[in-house]
Structure 1
Amino acid sequence: MTTTLAQRVVAGVKDKILAGVLPPGHKLPSETELVEEFGVSRTVVREAVTRLRAEGMVETFQGRGSFVLAVPEPTSFTVESAAIRTHHDVLDMIDFRIGIESEAAALAAARVDAASAEAVRAALDAFVAAAPEDAVEADFRFHRAVADASGNRFYLDLLDSLGPMMIMLPRTRLGDAYSLTDAGHVDRVRREHADVAAAIGAGDVDTARAAMRVHLGNTRRRLDVGRA
């Protein structure tokens, strides 16, 4: 029920954004105002804002509130968070990512130069240094840097169409099994990211492919354990 109510709030806010009622840079109504407008609980409103962030529609600043981002340009491939409803859907998304991102990492290693290696390393460093509230965005930025390093714009376009949602969804759908506020989990992800970055920097195609596959495969297994 909470999910359905949150979808209604998301749809209502998105309609206002797309209609220009809430233009880019405009602050979202307060939590209290959204509760009153949609007749839902604060928990529902918070879930809705989390989904809007995952879809790249808004950005939240601590102590300031949430602000509308520029409306993304339409693409031929889009997946909205509401389309991924079940545990099986989340696992299917990860399987999809394994196929795409493993090859992107391999191509990044094959085409590596000083600039692309540094960009991937910088994204890794940013993830390592990220505060818990910024970890989802930093995680996505690392994966995006790998796609960018591939030199194939279609990998980058695909990841941009998914956005931070691809990192956020397992957490919002399955709870603590995939929590980027859990120190142990974050440490494991950091090590896995570091393996990917090192292989790309070394120009080791097979190891880069394998490291990304291991990373996303471990994500899948962690979700299965959390579900059990």
Structure 2
Amino acid sequence: MSLTSPTRRKPRTLALELVEALGDRIRDGRLAPGDKLPTEAAIMGEFQVSRTVVREAISKLQASGQVETRHGIGTFVIGLGDAPGFKIGPEQYSTLRDVIAVLELRIGVETEAAALAAQRRTPANLAAMRQALDAVAQAVDEGRDAVSADFQFHLEIARATQNSHFADMMATLGSSIIPRARLAQAEGLNEPMSDERLQYLRRVNGEHESIFDAISAGDADAARAAMRTHLANSRERRRRAQQAEGR
């Protein structure tokens, strides 16, 4: 894609066009949270713009909360920024009741996403899901909680629907939708992991594997059922914890 035309445009106009082009990639998942943006030189070459234009565009993306620059490392995507639309803020994950409410939303959205993914997934989608699942398994084996890789697996399913709205919603929600993200500090998960917790995480990943198998097989009904089972199990675990707390 080139931003040049026979009519010479001002750098500011080019910068706004570049912001829109890069923003589109963030919104449709081609550039996901955590991804590193191409180098200035690569962007200059692809879009045929000056370094000044690139730096102004990056500055605007930073101001809107879509990217952040880490000195000496590069610029990374952090989210959809200030774009209007549905959001759930951190304060809405503050209690077990909140976590259960988000899980109910996810059951409604992700069960259908899994079915669509089974029908539309590409080999690249399957490879990305497999990579995320392998990362979860490795983290568990190393005694880590694997929240990031867990979220990545669910995000890759949303992308495999080939419907950008599913991926946009997941990216907007972020990794906080994984219940363990909210509960980690409260449950002392920075301490050495107990055998009971390791077994729990392996059960969770077994549920992930069932979802993946159904999507890989192209079985929409099985994928829908496996996702519903996975999220309903998580909801019931939180309900039991809520009852134990007497809330």
**Residues 180, 217 of structure 1: CA spacing in aligned structure 2 closer, same or farther, 3 A cutoff?**
farther
2:161 to 132, 143, 150: 150
The runs of at least 4 consecutive aligned structure 1 residues that moved more than 6 Å come to: 17-20
| Cross-structure match for 1:110 | 119
In structure 2, which of residues 140, 143, 150 is the aligned counterpart of residue 139 of structure 1? 150
Give the total of aligned pairs: 169
Structure number with larger C-alpha Rg: 2
TM-score (norm 1): 0.65
Does 2:201 match 1:186?
A: yes
- In 2, Cα distance between the equivalents of 1:217 and 1:103? 14
Q: What is the aligned counterpart of 2:104 among 81, 92, 95?
A: 95
SS at match of 1:151: coil
| Residue pair 2:93, 2:182 contacting (<8 A) in 1 also | no
Amino acid at match of 2:211: V
Flag structure 2 segments of 5+ consecutive residues without an equivalent: 1-61
Amino acid at match of 2:174: G
Following superposition, the deviation at residue 193 of structure 1 comes to 0.3
Evaluate the alpha carbon distance shift between residue 183 and residue 81 of structure 1 in structure 2; reply closer, same or farther with a 3 A threshold.
same
Identity of aligned residues (%): 38
d(CA) in 1 for partners of 2:147, 2:238: 16
Amino acid at match of 1:225: R
Alignment of 1:39-118 (within 5 A): 72=79, 73-75=81-83, 76-118=85-127
What SS class does the counterpart of residue 94 from structure 2 fall into? coil
Give the distance between the partners of 1:110 and 1:137, measured in 2 at CA.
26
Q: 2:130, 2:201 → 1: CA distance?
A: 17
Using the TM superposition, give the Cα deviation of residue 118 of structure 1 relative to its aligned residue in structure 2, in angstroms. Answer: 2.2
Q: How much does 1:184 deviate?
A: 1.2
Using the TM superposition, name which of 119-128 and 138-147 deviates more: 119-128
**Structure-2 residue corresponding to 1:40:** none
For the aligned residue pairs, the C-alpha RMSD in angstroms reads 3.0
Return closer, same or farther for 1:186/1:134 CA change in 2, 3 Å cut-off: closer
The residue aligned with 1:200 is 215
Deviation at residue 135 of structure 1 after TM alignment: 0.5
Are residues 18 and 172 of structure 1, via their aligned partners in 2, closer, same or farther at CA, if it must alter by over 3 Å? Answer: farther
Instruction: Compute the displacement of 1:189 (Å).
Output: 0.9
Give the drift of 1:186. Answer: 0.8
Offset of residue 70 of structure 1: 5.3
- List gaps (5 residues or longer) in structure 1: 1-16, 27-67
TM-score (ref. length: structure 2): 0.60
The 8 Å contact of residues 143 and 198 in structure 2, kept in 1 or not, is answered as no
- Pair 1:100–1:19, CA change in 2 (3 A): closer
With 148-157 and 119-128 compared, the bigger mean Cα shift is at: 119-128
Q: Does 1:220 pair with 2:229?
A: no
Q: Return closer, same or farther for 1:128/1:172 CA change in 2, 3 Å cut-off.
A: closer
Structure 1 position 25, deviation (Å): 2.0
